[in-house]
Amino acid sequence: MTALYDPIEWNEKLLTGVAEIDNQHKILVDSINEANSRLMEDHDIKLFEQITKDLLAYAIFHFETEEDLMLQYDYDGESAEAALLHQKQHREFSTQVLAVRDGLRDGKEISREDLLAFLNGWLISHIMNTDQHLGTFIKQKRNTATTGQSE
Amino acid sequence: MQKQRLPNLFNSLPTRLAAIASLLALIAAFIPGTRYIQPNAIFLPLHTVIETISVIIGGAIFALIWESREHRSKSTLLLACGFLAVSCLDFAHLLSYAGMPDFFTPSSTQKAINFWLAARLTAAISLLTFALRSTDPRVVSTDSCRLLFLGTITYSGIAIWMLLAFAEHLPVTFIPGLGLTPFKIGMEWLVIAINLSAAIFLLRRHLIHHHPFDQWLAAASWVMALAEIFFTCYITVTDLYNLLGHFYKIAAYLLAYRALVTHIVRQPYEKLAYEADRNRTILDTAQDGIHLVNMQGKVIDANRAFAEMLGYTAQEIRQLHVSDFENAKSPSEVSELIERLRQEKTSALFETQLRRKDGKLIDTEIAMNLTQLSGEEFLVVAARNIADRKASDSLRLAGKVFKNAHVGLLITDTNGKIVEINPTACEITGYEHDELIGKNPSLLKSGQHAEFFYQDMWASLLADGFWSSEICNRRKNGELYHELLSITAIRDRHDRPINYLAVFSDITRRKLAEDKMRQIAHFDALTGLPNRLLLADRLDQAIAQNQRNKKILAVCFMDLDGFKLINDSLGHEAGDLLLKEVGARLQTLLRGSDTVARLGGDEFVMLISDLNSEDECSQALQRILHSIASPYTLIGNTLSEISVSIGVTLFPADNSDPDTLLRHADHAMYAAKQAGKNCFQLFDARMEQRLQARQETLRRVARGLTAGQFQLHYQPKVDCRNNQVIGVEALIRWNHPILGKLTPNEFLPLLEDDDLALALGEWVLREALRQGRLWAAEGITLCISVNAFPRQLQRTNFPDVVAQAIADLWPDLPPGKFMIEITETAALRELDSIQKTIQACRKLGIAFSLDDFGTGYSSLSYLRQLTVDELKIDQSFVRDMLVDTEDMSIINGLIGLGRAFNLKVVAEGVETEAHIHRLLEQGCHIMQGYGIARPMPADQLGPWLKEFSDHPTWSTQ
């Protein structure tokens, strides 16, 4: 219970360059920061359930946006390995959140810290690596499309 | 009256003639020696001429009267007959005169005198009789006339015969040389007396009845009397007196003749002329245009008024045809009308328009009457000019309208001085008629309107001639009233305003009603605070005001924490009182310019204006939280733990429209509730975005449901002692089009609080029943269990939904082959109602299982109340039971509990062989988990069952 996680500071490194993804990332970061601060103050299981519920809902919404873009630009076809990894990380996120919640329901405090560690870690690594890859791919596609049009 | 008539009597011609005759007689009597003049030589021829004339006159008199006998009265006819008889006797007298040839007997003076006297007596008696008889105007029948005529002839004949036959027996009347005998003189005086009497009676009658006829006859009688005087005193039958007597007789006859001519011949003509003249005068003085029209429509005659009406001369108008001046009807219509009148013999009355000679049109009313003149049919037409009547009718009507109108009417001149008002206006304003005349309507000003209001009024009156508005005025007694007023300029021919007409009605009562309605419509009945409707209005104003003043507006959404609990435990009355008190406290904490509104229930909205910083807002809200938290005393109860949650959004930082501002505040309040109540939460745009994301996800679930993206997977429950598969649990999967298969854990928590859970839950129920029936048909008879959402179970109609699904999909469902799993936490929430639901469903043959057992406050007391068939030990205990002795002991406890209540106990989350063996050792035989079988699509269950039947049993291993 001594570990205290600093809130994630939004910075340029987190930007993917795809507006809709970046907007949603900001909210996701906010949500995790909020969960962080709340969980440090309060151990109420109900609050935690609420946070996980919101987080999950938003995650599904966000993952859907990203995976929709993947389909749109044929990420699976052109960068199959990256696409598979990306989707796997999305599933892991949900599973992990649920696992921690279930653990917390059982009254296991350690799971909460794990969750926070996981959330922070996952989010930063996912946004800074996996999503950057996707972002670059989409930007490239969009640029080709606009130049193609302008010609 | 008598005096007035006397001059008339003496001035009249017959009187004068009688007077002259009398005068001449006097002269003759008093001139000495006249009686001795003897015109012997010419006497006989003279006498013959004179008598012949008198006979003719007498005959003429008779003839005149006789020929008009149909129109004569009896007395007149009698008089005529008298004259006839007299003429006959006079003729005999003429023939018998001395010197005349013999007439039956030799002519002699004596003989002539006899006839003379008879004639004179007859004449005198006839006149007297006439004078004495009433002037009975009744005409005599033809038979009476004949009788009378015959009588007269007979009388005359007998008289003549007797005077001839009995001449010697008659007294001597004349002795030649000596003159007249006393008998003769006596007889003459008798005749005089009779004549004088007749004259007197006739004169008297004349004075009474004014018949000129009587006057003339009276004169005749008088002159006859004078004649007779001469006959009393002549000496020879040829002397001057005798001759004068004869002259006077003729004069008398002429007077009588004149009387009768006047009466019989002239008078009718005069009367006719008079009547014609009178009719003409009547016609010409009539106001109506009366004209006579023949059947061809030609004007035959017209009175002066008609000629003047149409502007023609009297001659011109007689040349016209009706169609020359009839304007409204065509010539064919005119002839049709005439024809109709002729055939139906009726009259007509209608209004039409006539055209004058100068072309001007006049409104007329026409009355037509069919009439016959000398066998020919005519129309008598009266045309009346009704232009004036029309004008005056409308004027009179206008006057009545003005007086009786139920709206106030007020007329001013162009200087604004009141010239007329009607009674309703007096009633409305409370002033008397005379108090307002000559005054300016500004007298009624209430002072409630700014000066520009009146300036506007004058501007539109001058520009458009019209102005209308609701206006507040003051009555004489000082009371304010509202009226609906419209003012119209009345203009003259040159379009210059000459008056202004104000029409107004008192709408005070309506206004008050409107105010009341507004109060009802805009204010909450319980607290008297503005309601949602008025809040919208106030919010608009507040936004505008803070925008103008560059200040911050806080829109706060507030909700009482746990209000439902207070209502339930203390009653609605206490709840209402609490709401009132909270409303009152909020009002005292805010400034007058701020708004507290109640939206209903325990929801309040506050609009706090003119803030300079977020801090200022926080301070205000802290004060509110503090005030609300202080204790309440309600119907003897003291409540000390009331708190509220407040969500706030700040304009213009949140530069949204009013509705969105309220929604944001609501969302923030939701967050405040989540954050632990008794606090306020500032709206955060990302909070909104997250909510939207959640809403969006829910929408996708709903879409997925209709698009068939959901699927049930089934996980077997196995009795591990004998490998008997006792049932399968249906688990929902979402085949997300993008994210792939999602487990219930990933999306179910999102919709637990939403009505979408009902739809999805029902889908699961129906899908499992459908599948169960298919399997039953294949010979697979397993107990299928589904998970119900707590929200579903809370619905009182849940048993009906289940019954309907069974009826629709598996009507012959065997009892105990379908099970509903309830989570322990859900069951705990509404223990009583859920137990009722369970009871109702059990009647349908449904079994129940208590899921996730051990995670809640598993206690004996509620397990006793719930009639379930199965307990499922939560997988979290099973997962760690091999390493965690605490979990193991919980599992042991739960198994014991199940046994005690005689329930099946199922262990969930069995992953390994070790789990299975350990659980079997502990006495829990029925297991479910990856260690036995993963959840599988329906079509894989058959193959799995077949394969599993070969699986060795664990107990023997």
Pairwise CA distance, residues B249 & B253, whole Å: 6
User: Is the CB of residue B233 less than 8 Å from the CB of residue B226?
Assistant: no
pLDDT score recorded for residue B848? 93
How far apart are the C-alpha atoms of B881 and B876, rounded to whole Å? 9
Candidate from A106-120, A126-140, B127-141, B596-610 with smallest mean pLDDT: A106-120
Question: B404-432 burial, b if ≥16 CB within 10 A, otherwise e?
Answer: eeebbbbbbeeeeebebbbebbbebbebe
* CA-to-CA dists, residue B794 to A61, B335, B872, angstroms: 29, 94, 21
Measured between CB atoms, does B677 come within 8 Å of chain A?
no
CB contact under 8 A, B700 and A53: no
- Min Cα distance A102 → chain B (Å) is 8
Locate B448 and state its tokens. 């409630």
From chain B, pick out residues whose CB is under 8 angstroms from the CB of A60: 697, 739, 742, 746-747, 750
Which residue in B has a C-alpha nearest to residue A90's C-alpha?
B739
Q: Are A100 and A35 in contact (CB under 8 A)?
A: no
> What is the reported pLDDT for B487?
92
Relative to beta strand B724-736, strand B710-719 is: antiparallel
A90 touches B: beta carbon within 8 Å:
yes
Instruction: Verify whether the Cβ–Cβ distance A106 to B876 is below 8 Å.
Output: yes
Which of B99, B119, B101 has the alpha carbon at shortest distance from B109?
Answer: B99
| Tokens 């089934």, located at residue | B714
From the number of C-beta atoms within 10 Å of its C-beta (0-12, 13-18, 19+), residue B603 rates as middle
Searching chain B, which residue's CA lies closest to the CA of residue A70? B738
The shortest C-alpha distance from A151 to chain B (Å) reads 33
Tell how far CA B586 is from the center of its chain.
54
Q: Please report the pLDDT score of residue B860 as a whole number.
A: 66
Q: Do B696 and A68 touch (CB under 8 A)?
A: no
Element holding B920 (H helix, E strand): helix B913-922
From chain A, pick out residues whose CB is under 8 angstroms from the CB of B749: 49, 52-53, 56
pLDDT at A107: 62
Of the candidates B351, B346, B322, which has an alpha carbon nearest to the alpha carbon of residue B334?
Answer: B322
Nearest to B759 by CA among B789, B794, B804, B782: B789
Q: Compare CB distances from A61 to B693, B740, B742 and report the shortest one's residue.
A: B693
Q: Do A58 and B690 touch (CB under 8 A)?
A: yes
Determine whether the interchain pair B694/A62 forms a contact, defined as Cβ–Cβ distance below 8 Å: no
Top residue of A34, A61, A65 to mutate, by most chain B CBs within 10 Å, is A61
Do A60 and A98 form a contact (C-beta atoms < 8 A)? no
Whether residues A54 and B694 touch (CB distance < 8 A) is answered with yes
**Mutation choice for B interface testing from A24, A62, A106, A108 by most B CBs within 10 A:** A106
Total number of residues shown for chain B? 957
Q: Number of Cβ pairs closer than 8 Å across A and B?
A: 69
8 Å CB contact of A56 and B855: no
Residues 858 through 897 of chain B touching chain A, CB cutoff 8 Å? 876
DSSP tag of B443? G
Residue type, A130: T
Closest chain A residue to B677, measured at CA: A47
The 3-state DSSP class for residue B355 equals: strand
Contact status, residue B565 vs residue B630, Cβ threshold 8 Å: no
Q: Quickly state the pLDDT bin for A3 (edges 50, 70, 90).
A: very low
B749·A53 Cβ contact <8 A: yes
The tokens describing A109, both together, are 């405090």
Sign of the Cα torsion A41, A42, A43, A48 reads: negative
CA B254 remoteness from chain centre: 84
What does the pLDDT read at residue A151? 40
- Residue B638 host element (H or E): strand B637-639
Q: Is the peptide bond before B212 cis (omega within 30 degrees of 0)?
A: no
Rounded to a whole number of angstroms, the distance from the CA of A145 to the nearest CA of chain B is: 24
Closest CA to B402 of B359, B433, B377: B433
Whether the CB-CB separation of B121 and B89 falls below 8 Å is answered with no
Contact B686 A27 (CB under 8 A): yes
For B752, the closest chain A residue by CA position comes to: A53
B676, B568 contact by CB (below 8 A): no
Q: Residue B749 is nearest to which of A47, A56, A87, comparing CB atoms?
A: A56
- B783-787 and B740-742 beta bridge pairing: unpaired
Q: Which residues pair with B555 in a beta bridge?
A: B607, B649
Q: To 10 degrees, what angle do helices B212-233 and B109-132 make? A: 150
Report the 10 Å Cβ neighbour count for B212. Answer: 17
B689 with A27: Cβ contact below 8 A: yes
Beta carbons of B739 and A67 less than 8 Å apart? yes
Asked whether the CA dihedral B769, B775, B781, B783 is positive or negative, the reply is: negative
Judged by CB atoms closer than 8 Å, whether chains meet at A106 and B700 is answered as: no
Closest C-alpha to A54, from B687, B712, B25, B368: B687
Per-residue pLDDT, B36: 61
Contact A27 B746 (CB under 8 A): no
Can you give the pLDDT at residue A46? 67
Q: Which of A54, A60, A100 to probe by mutation at the B interface, max B CB count within 10 Å?
A: A60
Q: Please, what's the b/e burial string for B923-945 (b: 16 or more CB within 10 A of its CB; e: otherwise)?
A: ebbbbbbebbbebbebeebeebb
Contact A98 B676 (CB under 8 A): no
The helices-and-strands tally (H runs, E runs) of chain B is 36, 29
Residue numbers in chain B where pLDDT is lower than 50: 1-5, 7
Do B91 and B85 form a contact (C-beta atoms < 8 A)?
A: no
State ipTM: 0.71
